[in-house]
Structure 1
Amino acid sequence: MQSKSISSRFLKSVKLSMCVLGAVFLCTLAPSTLAATSFNTTKILKSSQPQNNAEVIEFLAGDDDKAKLLFFREAFEKQKIHLFEKPQQYFEENYPLKDYVQAWSLLAQVRSEPQNNQLQKELQRFIEQHKNDYIAERVKTDRILIMAPYWDQNRQWTRFKSARSQLQWNHSEPSIMCWDLFHRFRNQKNISKTVAHDALTLINSPRYKGNAVCRKVSDILINKVPSTAFTRLVILIQQGRISEGKQVLNTLIKKKRLPAQAARLAFNNPSRWYRINRNKLSKQNKHVRIIAAYRLTSVHFDWAVKTADSLQGKLNKQEKSALWGRLGYVAAIGHDPKALKWFEKGGPTVCTGPYSALPNDCLEWRARAALRAQQWKTLNRYIASMPASLAKQDNWTYWRGRALTQIGQKESAQTYWQQLRSVRTFYGKLAHEALGQSFYYSGNETVEATPEAIEAMGNNPGLLRAKAFYDVGMFYEGNLEWQWAIRTMNPAQLLAASQWGEKHSLLHRAINTAIKVAEHYPVEHELLYPRPFEDEIETYAKKAKVDTDWVFGLIRQESRFIAAAQSNVGANGLMQIMPATAKWIAKGLGIENFKSEDIYEIDTNIYFGTTYLRSLLDRLDNNIILATAGYNAGPNRASRWQRSLPNVTEAAVFIETIPFTETRNYVQNVLANTVEYAHGQNKTIKSFKDWLGVIDPEADTSTEEKI
């Protein structure tokens, strides 16, 4: 690397192509873009012999490798790829993703003939040939998932264990974990309560939700260790997995562990159960009351509290800490000032134990309830009692310092703030300001990779495969290839990879990779905070009378400047606008004949997005924080959160107590981005805390939809 002062980067003048940009996380390419690169694959793949179809023959003879890749990917997903003999033959020899087509073909054959040893050998040869590439990890993982049922049925489980031991990234993938548990428990006669509870605690975690193999494990444990069933039921109720919970409930009733009629009523219609029994709660079955209390938290909270109160003296320590922790958690998320009271009823171990579905979330909301009430001594105590891994998170490190300051321990507070070294983050900025230091990312004495190092990244097969995936809109696969390629790189190499990504218009990868480098070396400000589409953004921001830096900060968070991005919930383009919102904006602007695919046009997307931001400011007291929250969660919610405040509240407190995790993180990131974009344009903000300001519950906000 060589030292270099900040210079204007080529991204300011180069327009970025829609289709060469990848996506952040699980985005997909715009449907209109996909349609332009392929033909009617659905119609073709319905045929039992598509390879003999004249249209397919002509298509496969063409030279559009990108379109053919998408075709064979769909053929693989629809289990039709076996109708093509060696599909990789239809691609140019140097096409980076040719091996993926071969892998899909091999996996499809193994799925149809798991007992075919010759196919297994071919697949193993493929893995050996690509042992240093991500594709080998992907194929090994898919092979395990395909073969697990076969190995289990044919008493060949040592093959599963051997194959799993070879995985580097996916050893703990939920289905693989649960296949291991399923085989072990299915063939085990005696399972201790401790082992069963530990296994259920594992698969109760959100990442295992909805996994069919994990559900099989749950069924086995409940049948073999019935005492685990009630714990599982309580967890499922808290997670809102009612259909799964009903199955467990029926098992408990079948084994005569619950009275059938009362338990079913409490579970299926808790309000009716309460109305029938409200004058005789103390006489009802303890476990039925527990079921009713948990179910009532989402139906009629006051009745849930009264039902829980009727159990005083009846609950053991674990049941008590979980139930009152749940009531406190629900109340805190709803900004109920009584939340702290319910948490205290759970005792010193509140939110913990086998009956607690989200122990860390519960403890965090206990702290947020104290923060919102400005009970600083209580907040300090709550953070101090958190598990170390939780207490060390940026938000609680900062608020621990604030709490200590408020109770007169300023020196101790500084030791916590000094732990937050990254000034790029929301809480890093607040901590640095509290210490009297600059809260901007420094652009002085920056480092830059040499041209030779950047050029060398163009020879990295993993990065080339990632770019090829991004080119066709397969962003999930592209991100995996990129992450695998950079996993062992040192900071200097990561910087070269970041700048290579920038050079090839992969801003999302350039930014994310530069973030890793910035933890070690100062990199150019514009590598972390680029300004593509600058003319369009400035034009439409000025037209809508919104802050240009805010728009840049929002787009950086929304799409990482991916013009063709489509999120997994349907938001589209640079500013991630939902289809219904786009139609509403078009109508308000008097734009006739607006088509849904128009939202991917750069000018249209920025025009609509900035116009919507203006409407949010107009409806939400011209407050950038409320408008940012409204952009993510909707203006109704932002207004409701504002009006629920007990009094004028510091904005940072308001943001930390936003009920939605996604929105809370989103607002923090957009605001931190905005300050950095302003800094990049030499606009000085003297105090980050003062810039954030306060939120007034009495401020005039409206959810009336007008543009």
Structure 2
Amino acid sequence: MKLLTPILTLLSALTMTGLTSFAAKAQNKGDDLMLEMHQASRKNDKTRLAALLPQVRGHVLEPLAAYWELRARLDTAPDSEIRSFFSAYAGSYYEDRLRNDWLLQLGKRRDWATFTAEYPRYRMRDDREVRCYALATEAMNSKANVAEEAKRLWYALREADDGCTYVADHLHSGKQINGLDLWRKARIAMDANRPRPAKDAVDIEAPRLSEQVTLIHADPAKYLDKRIIAITRNRKELAVLALIRLAASNPDEAAERLDKHWDLMLSAEERHWTWGVIGKQAAQKLQGNAAAYFAKVQKDSDLNDDLLGWKVRAALRQGQWRQVLSATQAMSPESQKDPTWVYWRARALLASPASDAAQKQEAHNLLRNIASVRGFYEQLALEDLGQPITVPERPAPPSPQEKASALNNPGLQRALYAISIGLRPEGNREWNYSTNLHTPGGMNDRDLLAAADLACQRQVWDRCINTSDRTKDLIDFEQRFPMPLREIVVRRAEQIKLDPAYVYGLIRQESRFITDARSHVGASGLMQVMPATAKWTAKKIGLTNFTPDQINDREVNVAIGTGYLKLVLDDFEGSMPMAAAAYNAGPGRPRNWRNGPVLEAAIWAENIPFHETRDYVKKVLSNTTNYAAILTRQPQSLKARLGQVGPRNSQTVEVNPDLP
């Protein structure tokens, strides 16, 4: 279609006629207008968007511009105009993006006839609220039992939303979900410190009591101290919410109140869930009594996967392998496939004192099912089976035809162009759409390798890595673990006696090699260095005349990032897991997290209280091991890099107590 003609093709044609300079100037003006539209879109400036749109007609990113303009007034635009947009940009990401937005609006309006007609044309299918609206229409139109999927979606949402709350209310009216289902949503929300969705759930089951949720969130102890004459089921559930809220700040006090007063009043299921939350909160504080709290749960199937995961973590810290086994067996079928719980279940089977030949065989089968170089637990499984971590054989490179297909993909072209002019989030979303859902079933492995190759050639490293990471059967380490700026990184790492594989493993996780990356907290550059940390480190490593504006300079960023990482690593006595945790969460937290029993570092890492840091440490160490295999071309061991973690030796002192 003419409007989607790739800009590179346009420039190529103009070069042949000697008009390249003119075309470049025109395109630069168009880019400036797109950036101005972006700012107008962020401000929801409808007037400015409408004025600018005619000026970017014919620009390669016109579909994005048209989307911004129409989205800003979607609530008032006639259906005919919306359908004209769908027709003009048929097959594009922005057609589907606008349909997503429209479906949300139709759901909020309760325009079920139009919603039902449009939903089958929606390709992304990745918006939970839209899916909840769709489930409501399915239940209305066919009386289908959609309760399990609706609960799964609703429970996963942390914030209040209309779609999943609506379908829950509808299914409750139709007796497809019951009061316990609603109270469980309220419990999950209260545990996540989200009072609004907790109140919304209670409002469906007990509207006259829903205001109590806000009061409980503000002062749970006050509610628990109230003298309640009639202990109804709903009142007991409110007490459970209060105990859950209290456990967040003081799990021991919540346990004492439950033990002394509420234990006999609650049902077995209510009691088990509450003890599970108390155990979780104690485990997140790394308290030694967390496993004891979980031991009061007499029926693991009364807990959800989140609570069961924390039961496993608490049991691992105490070496309670039987509890690890029972908790992993009680998880949902989906969680039982997660490599994390597959691995620990296998370890529990092998560690059982009564482990027989059948259990050992089951354990080895579990390990074989996940063993690969793909991730942290997959690599540990390889090593537990006696296999080293090596670079897999590289698949055949993309053929000229496969490369041409990726190059000529309009969505990929627009995505790369958007990224090149500073619209990275917009470009990333269209890239992900084009590689995931542009064709039915998404791209196959060969298509993904070709798309990743295109991103690599353009040095858009995050798209290169993320796309290559998604291949199922073909693994190309050259794509998955690229090494931009190799001369700078390796030279600097070797100068300060730092493993370059560790540096690359960290950069891959921190920034995906985006040199101008900036986090929401202000960290900058390849190694995502905070301004205060950069200033402190510059002094420590003797980098004179450093100014904050230098932090995005590649050489300076690598010098400061590696310098800080080396200082952190030395402070933590060479422990890569603890140093990675300190790099992500600051050194103070892992100094506290290391206190307690001496643990194998995999158990220590799994017990890190913060999800982001827990995931970060595992990925950095997994990346490091694979980079080492590439750099050395020798078999590698993740376990050797992990080692053990425990309290600091009393005879050693902190190298840098003022480490930021």
TM-score bin (small chain)? 0.7 to 0.9
1:628 pairs, out of 552, 556, 580, with 580
Q: CA deviation at 1:232?
A: 5.4
Q: CA deviation at 1:239?
A: 1.8
1:158 pairs, out of 83, 106, 113, with 113
SS at match of 2:343: helix
Kindly indicate whether the alpha-carbon contact (under 8 Å) linking 1:321 and 1:351 is maintained by their aligned counterparts in 2: yes
- State whether structure 2 residue 73 is matched by structure 1 residue 91: no
Distance in 1 (alpha carbons) for counterparts of 2:200 and 2:467: 46
**Deviations 1:655-685 (CA, angstroms, capped at 9, x unpaired):** 2222222222211111111112122122645
**Deviations 1:372-417 (CA, angstroms, capped at 9, x unpaired):** 2112233223222322221221122222222222234433321111
Deviates more, 1:299-308 or 1:244-253: 244-253
Distance 1:273 1:571, change over 3 A: same
Residue matched to 1:527: 479
Residue matched to 2:349: 404
Counterpart of 2:607, as a letter, is T
Residue matched to 2:427: 478
Kindly indicate whether the alpha-carbon contact (under 8 Å) linking 2:200 and 2:210 is maintained by their aligned counterparts in 1: no
Kindly indicate whether the alpha-carbon contact (under 8 Å) linking 1:424 and 1:440 is maintained by their aligned counterparts in 2: no
Residue matched to 1:336: 287
Kindly indicate whether the alpha-carbon contact (under 8 Å) linking 1:179 and 1:213 is maintained by their aligned counterparts in 2: yes
Residue matched to 1:508: 462
Q: CA deviation at 1:496?
A: 1.6
Residue matched to 2:123: 168
Deviates more, 1:461-470 or 1:382-391: 382-391
Q: CA deviation at 1:84?
A: 5.4
SS at match of 1:621: coil
Higher relative contact order (CA 8 A, sep 6+): 1
Q: CA deviation at 1:574?
A: 0.9
Counterpart of 2:60, as a letter, is P
Residue matched to 2:571: 619
Q: CA deviation at 1:638?
A: 0.9
Kindly indicate whether the alpha-carbon contact (under 8 Å) linking 2:468 and 2:475 is maintained by their aligned counterparts in 1: no
1:134 pairs, out of 72, 93, 106, with 93
Kindly indicate whether the alpha-carbon contact (under 8 Å) linking 1:181 and 1:217 is maintained by their aligned counterparts in 2: yes
- State whether structure 2 residue 280 is matched by structure 1 residue 325: no
Residue matched to 1:107: 71
2:415 pairs, out of 445, 460, 466, with 466
Residue matched to 1:68: 33
1:79 pairs, out of 34, 40, 44, with 44
Residue matched to 1:678: 628
Kindly indicate whether the alpha-carbon contact (under 8 Å) linking 1:550 and 1:674 is maintained by their aligned counterparts in 2: yes
Distance in 1 (alpha carbons) for counterparts of 2:610 and 2:478: 31
1:261-660 equivalence runs, <5 A = 267-271=217-221, 286=236, 289-309=239-259, 310-349=261-300, 351-352=302-303, 359-407=304-352, 408=355, 409-443=359-393, 446-487=395-436, 488-517=442-471, 519-523=472-476, 525-586=477-538, 588=540, 596-644=548-596, 646=597, 648-660=598-610
Distance 1:438 1:247, change over 3 A: closer
Counterpart of 1:463, as a letter, is L
Q: CA deviation at 1:167?
A: 0.8
**Deviations 1:479-513 (CA, angstroms, capped at 9, x unpaired):** 22222322332222222222111111122222222
Distance in 2 (alpha carbons) for counterparts of 1:435 and 1:232: 41
Distance 1:414 1:234, change over 3 A: closer
Distance 1:253 1:594, change over 3 A: farther
Gaps of 5+ in 2: 1-24, 437-441
SS at match of 2:369: coil
Counterpart of 1:98, as a letter, is E
Distance in 2 (alpha carbons) for counterparts of 1:677 and 1:624: 14
SS at match of 2:580: helix
**Deviations 1:423-443 (CA, angstroms, capped at 9, x unpaired):** 231122211122222322324
Deviates more, 1:499-508 or 1:489-498: 489-498
Distance 1:240 1:503, change over 3 A: same
Kindly indicate whether the alpha-carbon contact (under 8 Å) linking 2:452 and 2:464 is maintained by their aligned counterparts in 1: yes
SS at match of 2:249: coil
Kindly indicate whether the alpha-carbon contact (under 8 Å) linking 2:625 and 2:636 is maintained by their aligned counterparts in 1: no
Kindly indicate whether the alpha-carbon contact (under 8 Å) linking 1:88 and 1:99 is maintained by their aligned counterparts in 2: no
Distance in 2 (alpha carbons) for counterparts of 1:315 and 1:360: 22
Distance in 1 (alpha carbons) for counterparts of 2:192 and 2:171: 19
Kindly indicate whether the alpha-carbon contact (under 8 Å) linking 1:82 and 1:108 is maintained by their aligned counterparts in 2: no
Kindly indicate whether the alpha-carbon contact (under 8 Å) linking 1:552 and 1:677 is maintained by their aligned counterparts in 2: yes
Distance 1:62 1:566, change over 3 A: same
**Deviations 1:525-547 (CA, angstroms, capped at 9, x unpaired):** 32222111112212332344322
Kindly indicate whether the alpha-carbon contact (under 8 Å) linking 1:204 and 1:235 is maintained by their aligned counterparts in 2: no
Distance in 1 (alpha carbons) for counterparts of 2:199 and 2:399: 62
SS at match of 1:609: helix
Q: CA deviation at 1:99?
A: 2.0
Kindly indicate whether the alpha-carbon contact (under 8 Å) linking 2:492 and 2:559 is maintained by their aligned counterparts in 1: yes
Whose helix fraction is larger, Structure 1's or Structure 2's? 2
Distance in 1 (alpha carbons) for counterparts of 2:90 and 2:29: 28
SS at match of 2:647: coil
Distance in 2 (alpha carbons) for counterparts of 1:73 and 1:267: 39
Distance in 1 (alpha carbons) for counterparts of 2:398 and 2:130: 40
Q: CA deviation at 1:181?
A: 8.0
Counterpart of 2:130, as a letter, is I
SS at match of 1:655: helix
Kindly indicate whether the alpha-carbon contact (under 8 Å) linking 1:72 and 1:101 is maintained by their aligned counterparts in 2: yes
Kindly indicate whether the alpha-carbon contact (under 8 Å) linking 2:584 and 2:613 is maintained by their aligned counterparts in 1: yes
Distance 1:227 1:675, change over 3 A: closer
Distance in 1 (alpha carbons) for counterparts of 2:533 and 2:636: 36
Could you state the TM-score of these two structures normalised by the residue count of structure 1? Answer: 0.77
Distance in 1 (alpha carbons) for counterparts of 2:267 and 2:514: 53
Kindly indicate whether the alpha-carbon contact (under 8 Å) linking 1:326 and 1:351 is maintained by their aligned counterparts in 2: no
Distance in 1 (alpha carbons) for counterparts of 2:184 and 2:444: 46
Kindly indicate whether the alpha-carbon contact (under 8 Å) linking 1:266 and 1:291 is maintained by their aligned counterparts in 2: yes
Kindly indicate whether the alpha-carbon contact (under 8 Å) linking 2:510 and 2:528 is maintained by their aligned counterparts in 1: yes
Counterpart of 1:333, as a letter, is Q
**Deviations 1:590-633 (CA, angstroms, capped at 9, x unpaired):** 76775544322212211221121122123222211110111112
Distance 1:91 1:595, change over 3 A: farther
Q: CA deviation at 1:347?
A: 1.8
Distance 1:65 1:672, change over 3 A: same
SS at match of 1:531: coil
Kindly indicate whether the alpha-carbon contact (under 8 Å) linking 1:625 and 1:667 is maintained by their aligned counterparts in 2: yes
Distance 1:568 1:215, change over 3 A: farther
Q: CA deviation at 1:131?
A: 2.4
Kindly indicate whether the alpha-carbon contact (under 8 Å) linking 1:566 and 1:576 is maintained by their aligned counterparts in 2: yes
Distance in 1 (alpha carbons) for counterparts of 2:51 and 2:116: 30
